[in-house]
Chains A and B, each alone.
Chain A
């Protein structure tokens, strides 16, 4: 698949923000009633890197994404997003910080009473940008996900894969500094999944956007770790084995609320942990 480029500026790192990490979890714990979901979890996501979060259902992957964006508060521990501690911020301050981040929800979470155009333009409409500016950028974002023709459709008229791509367009339209993907390929056919993986790789390699990606599909993360986006060919290409370590991609595996692995593809492949071996086999 080839996708058109998104001719908008690269994400601008805010002046005075010297943090080298896009996301930091410091000893974070959260429980829902008796069920401990995350138990003293610590990790960091360097800027420009994509980290894939794995774990069985209910292991706290989606919760971790919501915590990173301040949509939920942990019971203990600290979380930093783009250098700012979200755990101690008021909701009002968080609204400002979230303008620098984007999220793609598991079920897309498109506003079903709004058309695709209004969904993608939501943030810009809130900022009262001009209609011409909004229209131009919406079309660019939809062209990026190859769905410009759906601009006047409602989410209910789209397929699951198309909704997921519209959600990506909504997340990237303001070129955020960090993107959070919650199972972006979950429940989709292999062809559509591949399209979405390519879009994520493109966002990572062309715009250098940091990303946390929750996924159940190991093959998607492996594709991301072994491919890069070729701007000239306008598609993702497989990297020779020797160059794979240059890909800014890491893996994190959660089990029973704790991190049992955090490293790159080479370290993952070399792991002798029986659970990890079984997981990746």
Chain B
């Protein structure tokens, strides 16, 4: 059987890309402006907060503990060589709060919820439920997108704090049980190393990551075409795009905060 390959012109590819960015920007902007326009679906926001926040708690707890413990374990051997084992608390605290806590939590929630949003909304598109909603006089952007964005941003903020704390606990468990580090030494080091810039960075990132996860998940869900195969495609694209965007935005946010608030 001969394969027929259809060539797409670079102009069409560029046109599609520009249109996708435009559509995404409109959806993202609307998801925010909807907070200032009635009706605001508080019930849906709470329901999504429960699904996204409480539902993601187990993976956030496990990943936070593991990352903190692994960080302590891996850095201990190097620090021990230089006689700096007491600095484990400092290293774990700084890494967890500024970088790994927000990043790992963002990626975990992205894998779980961006895919969930894309598949749920995508299924609603292909079964005409979104059209039905519009026909019944409800704005899907207000009813479906804004609650997901609000709930993800809000819950990711707190999930990240939980992840940071559990990372510190995981690091402490390793430092104390395997390397015999005193608990006061660990916690005072961990606490004292943090400055305003670190905490600020650690709390700004989940807000941005939450917005990326929800808007990308909703965008791919709402732009689903092509039946159940299209739903699968949207789900995959949502996870890949949101994860990559989180990594890219993480770099630029870190750089920007360092530029504004200064390096150590």
Q: Which A residues have a C-beta under 8 Å from some C-beta of B? A: 66, 69, 71, 91-92, 94-96, 98-99, 101-103, 105-107, 109-112, 122-123, 126, 170
Contact = CB atoms under 8 A, between A and B. Distances in A.
A126 B137 contact: yes
Contacts of A96: 137
Nearest to B134: A71
Contacts of A126: 39, 136-138
A91 B132 contact: no
Contacts of A94: 134
B127 A91 contact: no
11 contacts: A69-B135, A98-B134, A98-B137, A103-B132, A103-B135, A105-B131, A107-B128, A111-B129, A122-B138, A123-B137, A126-B137
A71 B131 contact: yes
Contact of A123 (B128, B136, B139): B136
Interface string B131-166: 111111111000000000000000000000000000
B65 to A, nearest CB: 33
B128 A105 contact: yes
Given A109-B127, A112-B127, A95 B132 contact: no
A195 to B, nearest CB: 22
A71 B137 CA distance: 11
Nearest to A128: B39
A107 B127 contact: yes
A71 B127 contact: no
Contacts of A123: 136-137
A95 B138 contact: yes
A109 B134 contact: no
A96 to B, nearest CB: 7
Contacts, number: 50
Interface residues of B, number: 13
A166 to B, nearest CB: 12
A95 B131 contact: no
Interface in B234-249: none
Contacts of A103: 132, 135
A109 B137 contact: no
Interface of B: 39, 127-129, 131-139
A96 B136 CA distance: 9
A99 B134 CA distance: 10
Nearest to B139: A95
B128 A106 contact: yes
Given A95-B139, A98-B137, A110-B129, 6 more contacts: A94-B134, A95-B134, A106-B128, A109-B127, A109-B128, A126-B136
Contacts of A71: 131, 134-135
A111 B133 CA distance: 9
A109 B124 CA distance: 8
A109 B128 CA distance: 5
A111 B132 contact: yes
A96 B134 CA distance: 11
A94 B129 CA distance: 17
Nearest to A70: B134
A3 B167 CA distance: 65
Q: Which of B127, B132, B134, B135: most chain A CB closer than 10 A?
A: B135
Q: Which of B127, B131, B132: most chain A CB closer than 10 A?
A: B132
B129 to A, nearest CB: 5
A112 B135 contact: no
A199 B228 CA distance: 32
Q: Which of A95, A102, A106, A109: most chain B CB closer than 10 A?
A: A109
A92 B138 CA distance: 9
Nearest to A101: B135
B131 A109 contact: yes
A146 B138 CA distance: 27
Contacts of B128: 105-107, 109
Contacts of A66: 131
A91 B129 CA distance: 17
Nearest to A102: B135
A128 to B, nearest CB: 9
B115 to A, nearest CB: 17
A105 B135 CA distance: 10
A122 B136 CA distance: 8
B212 to A, nearest CB: 25
Which 8 pairs between the two chains have the least Cβ-Cβ distance?
A: A109-B132, A109-B128, A95-B137, A103-B135, A105-B128, A123-B136, A99-B137, A98-B137
A98 B127 contact: no
A122 B137 CA distance: 10
Contacts of B136: 98, 122-123, 126, 170
B246 to A, nearest CB: 28
A239 B102 CA distance: 73
Contacts of A110: 129, 132
